[in-house]
Each structure stands twice: as structure tokens, then as C-alpha cells.
A and B are shown apart, each in its own frame.
Chain A
Amino acid sequence: MRLPLRADCGWAKGDSGANALGGMYKIALRMLLRDRGKYLALVCGLSFATLLIAQQGSIFLGLVLRSTGVLQNVGQPDLWVVDPSTRYILETRPVGEQFVGRVRSVPGVAWAEPMFSNYANVEFADGTFKRVQLIGIDRTTLIGQPPEMVEGSLEDLRAPDTVLVEESSRPKLNNAKIGDVLRLNDKRAVIVGFCRAKLGFESNAIVYTTFDNAVRFTPVGRERVTFILVGVKPDADRTAVAADIRKFTGLGAFTPEEMSRRTIGFILYETGIGINFGITVLLGFVVGLAVTAAIFYQFTLENLRHFAVLKAMGTRNSVLVRMVLLQAGVVGMIGFGIGCGPAGIFTILGRKPGAELAPYFPWQLLALTLVGMMICIGLGSLLSLRRVITLEPAVVFK
């Protein structure tokens, strides 16, 4: 029974390198993909880890971003002028109306309009009440208007005692409709339309009205202007204009991006939210990553004997390392891809108007999740590779 073999194999002729790797890569993939039980366990584990990381991250980002809801709703201004000690968009100290004129006189300022923001109570017939975010915009220019009207006309806001209600807030206001009268801080307010706008951090219903109405609905002291919204002339540098406003008025002047950063910074560092929710998110991240590393390490351990056989048969350490890394990369990418699906669906569902959850899933989070996954798979692989590299091929005889 003579074997019909050839002595002139590729290796003997020096035909190694890419061919050897190609063949062994296929072996590595078959070892991975055909062991369906372990493969599915790996993919499920990695998908779950991805989902955990991405979903927790998106909730955290969404929550933080939500704190800038008021800022996002106002698209027109180049600068926000506020009391200089303002740290958070909803924690404000009003300034006097005379500052509006002073800001208008600063070189480079094209326009400046007052905006009012405060809380008010809507009282219902049954004696209950709901807290709402009351936004007052300039009656003439309507600067600071909501991003999108859904029902009714923005122009109707110019009529006396009228308000617009953010659409998703309807249920909070007993499913109010156009023409309904709200009892707003014990004053009459007629609903003339519904708009779409980002809810704030506290998810209160948003009610828009004119600046004058807002001041009447929510009496404050002599200082009544919460924000001064500023447009900069096209040829002016807004950073320079902001500096001039600070210099001439003593107020704080910030670009929308700066205001966002201040708000987010306040939420993260000045409230317990950052540390508390941050720990939860971090835990999700760490658990997800630890699961990833442990699962892959276990997979390699279970294949250690096969690697020992390959090593005994002449497979170099460098090839084994690449085989393990290939397995890690493939299973990691598949797990990541599958895990991103539910995370994306969760985000889409969670971002419905009025939803209490506001997950935010930017590509940066996707990239960060991928990097985290790869680091952890790499970590799991490193642990595995240490075993593979130091593996004595003699174990094949045991």
C-alpha cells in the first residue's frame, strides 16, 4: 500500500509565505466557523457586549445632549449673551432690558433680540398641575422661534395671550388642541398651534409665547431678559464680537458651541448625573469588554490542543498568532455588526418625538465601540496567544 506522494512540495521549493498563510488562514476560519456551537456562543456574546456598550453609551450621550435642548431649538443666533456666571442653559439669571440696546450698539452686531426662559405651572380643572418650560420670543422678529410648526401658524403667536405647544407635550397637557385654553400660572393662555422642538433635560412640556406674554405669565423682577440672541454681521468675526460684547456690557457672550460645552460640562461635573450615570455606562462598557475578552480566551483555550497539533506538525508561532488574530478579527467584526443592529433599532425607537429616552448614536460612538471591542478582543487574543506561543507541542502526546 504505497502512498502516491510527491517529494517536490512547495515548501521544499521555497513556495511558502503567502500560500502558506492563505491555506492556514482558511484552516483558521474553518476552525472558527464550523464549530457552530462555540461560534454562535462567541457571536452572541460579542453581539451582546456590543449592544451593551453602544446602547449604554447612546443613552448617556443622549441624556447629555438633551441638556442642550433649548440651544438646539434656536438656530438663528451666532452668539448667546447671558449673565456672565451662567453655567447651564436652564440655570440662568435674567439681565435688564437695557442690555439689549447696549449689545445692539457693539460693533459687528447685526441684530440682538431678547429671549425669555422660565418655568411655569399649567393648572388643570381637576386641581392637578404640570410644570412647563415657558419660552418667550420677540413678538416682532419671532427670533428664537421653534424649529418646525406642525399645526397652526407661527404668526398667530402675535395675538394676545396666545401660546404654541410642543407637539409631543400634548399628552402632558391633557391632549390639548388648538383653541384650548390653558391656565398658565393662573393666567389665560390660548393654544394657537403646535410645533416640534427638542425637549430639555427635565422633559418638561415646552410652551412658546411672545416675550411680553411670557413676562406677564411669569412675573419676575426688574431683570427680565434671560438670553440676548445676537446675530453677527457677515463680515465680522463672531469671536471678536463676543469679546467686544463682554468688554462693553460685562455680560457673558458665547457661541452656541461654547454654550453647549458649558451646559454639558455643568451636567457632567456639577451634578451627580455625570458620575452616577457615567459609572453605570462605564460598568456596561467594562462588562461588555470583559465578556468579549473572556469568551474569546475560552474559545482559544478550547482549541489549544489543535494548535499544539499544528505546532507539532511544523506551524510557526508567527503563523499561529496570525491565525488567532484572524479568528478574533472575524468574530469581532461579525459580533460588532450584529450587536450594532439592535443598538440602532433602540436608538431609532428611542428618538421618537416625545420619547422619554433620547439615545444619541453618532458615528463617533460607533467607532469608539468598535475600537473598544477590538481592544478587548485583542486583550483576549493576547491572553490566548500567550498560551499558544508558550505552548509545548509535546502536549499532543498527553
Chain B
Amino acid sequence: MSALSAESTVRVANTGESLAVELRGVTKTYGSGSTSVHALRGVDLEVKKSELVMLVGPSGCGKTTLVSIISGVLGADSGVAKLFGIDWSTLGNEQQTLRRGELVGFVFQQFNLIPTLSIIENVSVPLLIRGVREREALERAAAALTSVELGDRTKSLPSQLSGGQQQRVAIARALVGEPRLIVCDEPTASLDGHTGQVVMDLIKDTARSRTDENHRRCVIVVTHDTRIFHYADRIVEMEDGRLKKTLSQHTLEEAAHVPRFAEESPSPDEASKP
């Protein structure tokens, strides 16, 4: 984490309409009384569209709580949490669910694929939830799987795939509904170096894949994995429920000592080069 030294406050990335995520004074406490845990203690954060932001910090610092609130799966106790201008606190449960389905795609550490569904069915689920006819949903799921180089495994069950392949399925599932925000929770934690690189390339491409202003998306990655820091536009470090530091892309590029997948674990292709 030595790369995170330059800036000690979270910088407002942009203003107005270009913001994907806007948090103001967000707090969250679990439990009550003497057993209460203050997961977030007044967090302010802004994330631009097209940005790939990584949240880092020790276990229990509030990273997961923060992305849960950003993505609308958890409510804040106080403060304002907006996603693409929508204040989650102004929506009822039903509306939150619908908006979440529309705006957010998830990639989990443990993939969270439904084991009894084939991978094409897993990928089609977000579309089915949104009312797309099954035939069309499967076609689009097949296209999404092809794009993550799993077009020939559409009938396979998740258990028949390697960890890296399952994570690619999860990415295809996260992207198939064209969400504006992709939330990745430790996406490379269960993967080897090369596979992690492939997955991060995909995620990075995702953030860049839409250029039109109205459909640009951003990616928030929660990670402990220092090997993937170079993929970030910005790294935000958390500690004890607060944002501690932020590190910009420029600073990252200068931080030559940050290890990369390529340095640590060359891909087979690269390894074979003379």
C-alpha cells in the first residue's frame, strides 16, 4: 500500500451530470448499544462516469458496506447516496430493486452463479428479471459469453468450469443487461495471476466500452490484490469506516514498484516469447 501516499483526502472527481456515484456524509452502524459496529463514519465520495475506482483497505474497514450502499443493496443510516443522480433514500424497496436491476451489475469473489443453471441460463437471468423474452435473453447471453471467450461452453454447468472461467461467466452476467455501474467484490481473489489479469482486462474494457455520454459506465472494485492496482484510474484507501487516502492514475503510473500480474506471473504467451 506504499503507493498510496500522495494524497490524504478524497478529491471530488468531477461535478454535476458526469458523476456516477455521489456520497455525502454516509454513515452505517451495525447492531446497537455496546455491541454496535460503526462500519461507515461519514463518507464523502464521488466517482465519475467511465472511471475504474478501486476500494482498498484492511478487512473490516467498511469497503463492502460502502459498495453495498453505493449499489443500493443496503441502506445508509444517514447521509446521501446517489447513483447516476438517483438518491437511493428517496426510493421504496420495490423501486430500489428495479433501479438496482437497471443500473448495477455485480461480480462477486465467489462468483455466486446458480449451480443448477447452465452458464448461458445464468447469464440470461438479469435479462429475464427485466422481462426480456427467454429466446432473446438466451441469444444475448450467448453473445455475452462469446465476448468473454466462453461461446463454446454455453451448455456447461458452473461446476464444470475453472474458477477463472466462472468469473468470466459472472462478468458476462454482470454486463449482459448493460448496467451503468459494475461492482466487483474481490474479483481476482480466487484466481491465479494470469486468469486474474484476463478478468481485469475484461473489467477494464467494460469501463471503457461505452463512449456515448448517456451510457458511460463506471466500475468499482473492492480488492486486497495489489497486483491489479495498475488497472485503476483511482485507488481509494479506507480505514476504520472512513476514506483515508486516494491515489490518482498519474500517481499510480509513477509508482513503479506496484507489482503487476505480468511481472509476477507471466501469461503463457508472454512466457514463451524469446
Bound CA span A397–B148, Å: 23
| Pick from A4, A20, A392: contact of B131, CB under 8 Å | A20
| A10 contacts B116, C-beta separation under 8 Å | no
Contact B100–A1 (Cβ < 8 Å): no
Q: Mark A1-44, 1 if CB is under 8 A from B, else 0.
A: 11111110111100111011011101100110011000000000
Contact B147 A4 (CB under 8 A): yes
Instruction: Tell me whether A396 is interfacial, beta carbon within 8 Å.
Output: yes
Interface string of B236-274 (1 = CB under 8 A from A): 000000000000000000000000000000000000000
Do the beta carbons of A393 and B147 come within 8 Å of each other? no
Known: A2-B205, A34-B116. A314 touches B131 (CB 8 A): no
Q: Are A11 and B131 in contact (CB under 8 A)?
A: yes
Shortest distance between the CB of A117 and any CB in chain B (Å)? 64
Decide if A316 touches B94 in the complex (CB within 8 Å): yes
Query: B191 an interface residue at 8 Å Cβ cutoff?
Result: no
Cβ-based interface call for A309 (8 A): yes
Binary B-proximity of A112-141 (CB < 8 A = 1, otherwise 0)? 000000000000000000000000000000
Nearest CB on A from B216, distance (A) = 12
Residue in contact with B125 in the complex, picked from A7, A27, A396, CB distance below 8 Å: A27
Interface residues of B in 52-92 (CB under 8 A from A): 64, 67-68, 71, 73-74
**Chain B residue nearest in CB terms to A307:** B114
Tell me if B117 and A2 are in contact (CB < 8 A): no
Any chain A CB within 8 A of the CB of B136?
yes
The residues of A that contact B4 with a CB separation of less than 8 Å are none
Contacts of A275 in B (CB 8 A): none
- Taking CB atoms and an 8 Å cut-off, the chain B residues in 118-138 that contact chain A are 121, 124-134, 136-137
Residues of A with C-beta under 8 A to B46: none
Q: Is B144 an interface residue (CB 8 A)?
A: yes
Chain B contacts for A319, CB-based, 8 A: 129
CA distance A3 to B127 in the complex (A): 15
Interchain nearest-CB distance for A56 vs B (Å): 35
Chain A residues closer than 8 Å to B209, beta-carbon distance:
2-3
Task: Please report the C-alpha to C-alpha distance between residue A396 and residue B117 in the assembled complex, in whole angstroms.
Answer: 18
**Does any Cβ of B come within 8 Å of A348's Cβ?**
no
CA distance A317 to B128 in the complex (A): 15
How distant is the Cα of A79 from the Cα of B202 in the complex, in angstroms?
88
How many contacts A-B (CB < 8 Å)?
A: 149
Known: A5-B178, A31-B114. A392 touches B74 (CB 8 A): yes
Does A198 reach chain B (CB closer than 8 Å)?
A: no
Least distance between B138 CB and chain A CB atoms (Å) = 10
Q: Are A316 and B117 in contact, with the CB atoms below 8 A?
A: no
Q: Tell me if A9 and B205 are in contact (CB < 8 A).
A: no
* Inter-chain contacts of B147 with A (CB < 8 A): 1-4
Q: Any chain A CB within 8 A of the CB of B192? A: no
Is A312 an interface residue when CB atoms closer than 8 A count as contact? yes
Q: Does A305 contact B (CB under 8 A)?
A: yes
Q: Does B143 contact A (CB under 8 A)?
A: yes
Q: With an 8 A cutoff between CB atoms, is B225 at the interface?
A: no
Once the chains are docked, how many angstroms separate the CA of A149 from the CA of B48? Answer: 95
B140: A residues at CB distance < 8 A:
5-6
A317 to chain B: which residues have CB within 8 Å? 93-94, 97
Contact flag A1-B201 (CB < 8 Å), given A7-B178, A397-B68 = yes
Bound-complex Cα distance A316 to B126 (A): 12
**Chain A residues near B189 (CB-CB < 8 A):** none
Instruction: Report the Cα distance A34→B206, complex, angstroms.
Output: 32
- Does A20 contact B129, Cβ atoms closer than 8 Å? yes
7 shortest interchain CB distances as A-B pairs: A314-B101, A11-B130, A23-B128, A16-B131, A34-B116, A20-B131, A393-B73
A-binding residues in B (CB < 8 A): 64, 67-68, 71, 73-74, 93-94, 97-98, 100-102, 106, 108, 112, 114-117, 121, 124-134, 136-137, 140, 143-144, 146-148, 172, 175-178, 185, 201-202, 205-206, 209, 215
- 19 pairs from A and B in contact (CB 8 Å cutoff): A1-B148, A2-B147, A3-B172, A3-B176, A5-B143, A5-B178, A6-B140, A9-B127, A9-B131, A17-B131, A19-B131, A20-B129, A34-B116, A306-B114, A310-B125, A313-B101, A315-B101, A393-B100, A396-B73
